Amino acid sequence: MAGVAPIQMDTFKLGFIGAGKMAESIAKGVVHSGIMPASRICTAPRSSGRCDVFESFGVKIFQSNRQVVEDSDVVVFSVKPQVVEGVVLELRPQLTKKKLLVSVAAGVKLKDLQEWAGHTRFIRVMPNTPAAVGKAATVMSLGKSATEEDGELIANLFGAIGKIWKADEKYFDAVTGLSGSGPAYIFLAIEALADGGVAAGLPRELAQNLASQTVLGAAEMSISTGKHPGQLKDNVASPGGTTIAGIHELEKGGFRGILINAVVAAAKRSEDLSAN
C-alpha cells in the first residue's frame, strides 16, 4: 500500500502504552519464546512496582508514553477501554503512519481507534485471560491501512502467548461471548467436576487436581487430533460403560444447551455494551 513503510521484522521496536497485566503477559511471552530481545521492548509504567516488574526481565523503562511512542515502531495500546480514547488523542501527534498501532482494548472499535489516531494503520486484537499463562485464544482484525505483513507481525507476537486467528471485526461481540468470557464457564465446570469427585468419595485436593488436568487433556486432544468433538466422544464412550452413563446425565440435563445460552447471552451483552 502506497506510503506505508514495512516494519523491519528483525529490528523493530515494540512499545506498550499501559503497563498492566496484558502488556506484561505479551512482553514476557515474546521474550521467553525468543521472538525478540527485551531490549527492543519499552513501556512507561506509572508506579515503581510495575517498573520493577518490567525491568526484571530487561524491558526498557521510559518516563512518559510520548517517549515510548517515539522509540517504537509498533505501539500496543494496553490501557483500560475507558481511557483509550484520551490516551490515543493525547499521543496523536507522535502516531505517524510509519508506526503500526495495535489495540487490545475490549469493545473499542477500529472506526473509533482510527479516528482518534488520525490514520488507519491499526490492528484490533482481542486476546483472553489465559494470555497470562501463554495459552490465549486471540482474534485480530486489520484496519484499512494495516498490511498483510503488519498482520503477520502481530500474529507472530501474539503467537508467543497462545493461538491467534484473523477475523472480520463484525464477529468481535460473538468472539467476546465465546473466548472472551469462556474461561469463566470452564472455571465453573472445573469446580463442578471436582465437586462431583468429592460427591463420589474423593478427597478435595485429588478431585481438584484431576478435574483441572482432565479438562486440560480433553482440550489438548481436541486441538491435537483435529477431530470433531462428537467423534472424540464416540471414541471414548464404550458400550454400557461409565462414560456413556455420565454423558446420559449431561444430555438429560440439557448441558450443551445451557452452554450455548451462556455464549449467546454474553455475546448479546457485548453488543449492548458497545452500542452505548
Positions in 121-160 near a copy of itself (CB under 8 A): 128-130, 132-137, 139
When the beta carbons of 152 and 249 are compared against a copy of itself, the nearer one is: 249
Q: Which region, judged by CB under 8 A, interacts with a copy of itself, from 5-13, 34-42, 89-97, 234-242?
A: 234-242
Q: Which stretch binds a copy of itself (CB under 8 A): 33-41, 84-92, 146-154, 247-255?
A: 247-255
**At closest approach, how far in Å is the CB of 8 from a copy of itself?**
30
Of 97 and 269, CB closest to a copy of itself? 269
Stretch that binds a copy of itself, among 91-99, 109-117, 152-160, 170-178 (CB under 8 A): 170-178
Q: What is the C-alpha separation between 126 and 174, in angstroms, rounded?
A: 11
Please count the residues of this chain forming the interface with a copy of itself, following the rule CB under 8 A.
103
CA distances from 75 to 43, 121, 136, 181, 216 (A): 10, 11, 20, 26, 33
Which x/- pattern over 178-207 shows residues binding a copy of itself (rule: CB under 8 A)?
A: xxxxxxxxxxxxxxxxxxxx-xxxxx--xx
Report the alpha-carbon distance of residue 110 to residue 169 in Å, rounded: 8
User: What's the CA gap between 60 and 39, in Å, rounded?
Assistant: 6
The four Cα atoms 195, 198, 202, 205 give a dihedral, to 10 degrees, of 50
Q: What is the largest CA-CA distance in the chain?
A: 69
**Residue 42: Cβ within 10 Å count:** 23
Q: Is 257 in the site for a copy of itself (CB under 8 A)?
A: yes
Nearest 5°: CA angle at 109, between 142 and 13? 50
- By beta-carbon proximity to a copy of itself, the closer residue of 81 and 97 is 81
Site for a copy of itself in 34-93 (CB under 8 A): none
Task: Tell me the window of 11-19, 36-44, 145-153, 166-174 that interacts with a copy of itself (CB under 8 A).
Answer: 166-174
Of 23 and 194, which CB lies nearer to a copy of itself in the complex structure?
194
Strands 41-43 and 14-17: parallel
Cα separation, 165 vs 110, whole angstroms: 17
- 1 contributes a contact to a copy of itself by CB under 8 A: no
Contact set for a copy of itself, span 212-231 (CB under 8 A): 212-225, 228-230
Q: Which three cell numbers stand for residue 133?
A: 499463562
